[in-house]
Amino acid sequence: MTLTDEEKAMRDGRDGNAIACAMDLLIRYGEALGAENFVETRNVCGTVTATTPFMRDFALKQGAGASGLNAVFSEFNLDTTERVDVPKVKAFSSHLQLGFDPHHPLEMGVTEQMVQFYKKSEAMAAKMGVQMMNTCTPYQVGNVPTRGEHCAWMESSAVVYCNSVLGARTNTEGRESTSSAMLTCRIPNWGYHLDEPRLATLGIELDMPVASVEDWGLLGYWMGDWVQDRVAVISGAGLKAAVPNLPRLKHFGAAASSSGGVELFHLVGITPEANTLEQATGGRPLKEVRRYGPREREQTFERINAFGVDRDVDYVMLGCPHYTIEQIWEAAQLIEGRKVHENSALWIFTPRAIKALADRNGYTKIIEDAGGVIMTDSCSAMSRAVPPGTKVVALDSAKQAHYLPAILGVQAWFGTTVQCVDAACTGKWVSP
Ligand code: F3S
């Protein structure tokens, strides 16, 4: 890779061991990718705390205090056997979701020792200068990059939103590359940082209106399954039914990056790099165009619901990706004056900042009075936590319906938020 003088100085240790290790890691990474140089990034989303049980055990073996956390950061964030002191970040950096919600240890099945370790880990990250947003949706709580801004983000659902809806530029990074980018403001210049890979090569013609969150989840799941890691542009009369808002695009991208590896999509007339079909394709002919209509929707619905058999619902999980305040408001309206069934449970996941707003607006109280719980920082897929004895779950997220049966061996029903809240209150899943 061609390095600037500044990058050479960082590599050669001018700014200390941690930054030298970070530059070394990024150079090795860039060379493996075939990148010729770096881009400067001042917006990073990653994970620096000891999030998994494996890392927590590793840290505790190295010492419960700073030495354990330094060891985790050296080994798992900078990929070095050298033990570096955790430094301060140079880039504006946001923390993604974590392994559990420390405010609900009982529900999440974690010990007091784990909660204490979590708090130390979080304090270390905050001291580094990392914003403890603790969410898979940093774009809804203050990290909103502008069009064309080079970012280094982890988390597939956040990456696809960042690229497609915001028009910023990132590849799907990992723990090591994001931590190194936090310290150096550099990331290899390849993939979606470049113009050409951002052009659509596949087309989707909508033959039916796509309006609800459920509709967008189904379309995303169908699209990801087909396009995998390629870029598609969506057009057609169906797109004009209603301009999709944040929750719809959040669910759409998350579903597409679950059934496939979609990191970027274009919606003609809606997303920033697709004012026209020609802009989205760069004027090149599309390699293939497929139509999406009622038949494709139904087949996708059947596929996502293939793991639903029993109608008695033990657990309803909402908030994948983390719920917006609009979605919490809707859930509060749906459940106000009702009670969660004694054989069921309702957990809703959202960022901490949105939870604070829900508290002030009274939505948390409405949901808790009904017997539901609002949680932060994590989700059932990340934490592997569901209410004890759960065999059947109901979800309004195609992404969570994709992962939860595989991760926890549960049955899953996918449907609308209304269906899910009804299932929580009746203990039964009713198909439309
Ligand atoms: Fe977020 Fe968990 Fe879904 S981290 S995107 S709520 S799988």
**Residue ID of nearest Cα to ligand 1 atom 2:** 379
Q: Is the CB–ligand 1 distance for residue 382 below 6 Å?
A: yes
Q: What is the pLDDT of residues 87-136, one digit of tens each?
A: 999 999 999 999 999 999 999 999 998 898 889 889 999 999 999 999 99
Q: Is the CB–ligand 1 distance for residue 404 below 6 Å?
A: no
Q: Is the CB–ligand 1 distance for residue 98 below 6 Å?
A: no
- Give the atom of ligand 1 at the shortest distance from the alpha carbon of 349: 6
pLDDT of amino acid 242: 81
Query: What average pLDDT does the segment 165-180 reach?
Result: 98
Rg (CA), the chain: 22
State CA 278 to chain mean position distance. Answer: 30
Q: Is the CB–ligand 1 distance for residue 379 below 6 Å?
A: yes
pLDDT value at 86 more than 70? yes
Mean pLDDT of the chain: 96
- Give the atom of ligand 1 at the shortest distance from the alpha carbon of 397: 3
Query: What average pLDDT does the segment 301-316 reach?
Result: 96
pLDDT value at 202 more than 90? yes
371 Cα–ligand 1 center, Å: 22
- Residue of higher predicted confidence among 413 and 120: 413
pLDDT value at 240 more than 90? no
**Residue ID of nearest Cα to ligand 1 atom 4:** 136
Given phi > 0 = left and psi -120 to 50 = alpha, else beta, which region is 317? Answer: beta
Tokens of 38: 């770096």
Q: DSSP labels for 99-144?
A: SS-TT-HHHHT--HHHHHHHHHHHHHHHHHT-B---SS-GGGTT--
SS3 content of the chain, % helix, strand, coil (to 5): 45, 15, 40
pLDDT value at 241 more than 80? no
pLDDT of amino acid 295: 98
Percent of the chain with pLDDT over 90: 89
Give the bridge partners for 412, in sequence order. 393
Please work out, in degrees rounded to the nearest 5, the angle formed at the alpha carbon of residue 218 by the alpha carbons of 215 and 221: 150
pLDDT of amino acid 169: 98
pLDDT of amino acid 138: 98
348 Cα–ligand 1 center, Å: 11
380 Cα–ligand 1 center, Å: 8
Q: Is the CB–ligand 1 distance for residue 350 below 6 Å?
A: no
Give the bridge partners for 205, in sequence order. 235, 291
Q: Is the CB–ligand 1 distance for residue 97 below 6 Å?
A: yes
67 Cα–ligand 1 center, Å: 30
What is the distance between the alpha carbons of residues 210 and 204, in angstroms, rounded to a whole number? Answer: 13
Q: Is the CB–ligand 1 distance for residue 386 below 6 Å?
A: no
Phi, psi (rounded to 5 degrees) for 373: -135, 135
Q: Is the CB–ligand 1 distance for residue 318 below 6 Å?
A: no
**What single-letter DSSP state applies at residue 193?**
G
pLDDT value at 50 more than 90? no
Residue 251 · residue 221 · CB < 8 Å: no
403 Cα–ligand 1 center, Å: 10
Q: Is the CB–ligand 1 distance for residue 395 below 6 Å?
A: no
pLDDT value at 66 more than 90? no
253 Cα–ligand 1 center, Å: 12
pLDDT value at 64 more than 70? no
**Residue ID of nearest Cα to ligand 1 atom 6:** 320
**Residue ID of nearest Cα to ligand 1 atom 5:** 321
Domains for the chain: give ranges and CATH numbers: 5-193 (3.30.499), 199-303 (no CATH), 306-426 (3.30.499.10)
**Residue ID of nearest Cα to ligand 1 atom 1:** 321
Cis ω on the peptide bond leading into residue 87 (within 30° of 0)? no
pLDDT value at 166 more than 70? yes
pLDDT value at 57 more than 90? no
- Look up tokens 């990056």; give the residue: 257
Q: Is the CB–ligand 1 distance for residue 136 below 6 Å?
A: yes
Strands 265-267, 232-235: pairing kind: parallel
pLDDT of amino acid 98: 93
Q: Is the CB–ligand 1 distance for residue 159 below 6 Å?
A: no
Q: What is the pLDDT of residues 322-356, one digit of tens each?
A: 999 999 999 999 999 999 999 999 999 999 999 99
- Give the atom of ligand 1 at the shortest distance from the alpha carbon of 254: 5
Q: What is the pLDDT of residues 141-163, one digit of tens each?
A: 999 999 999 999 999 999 999 99
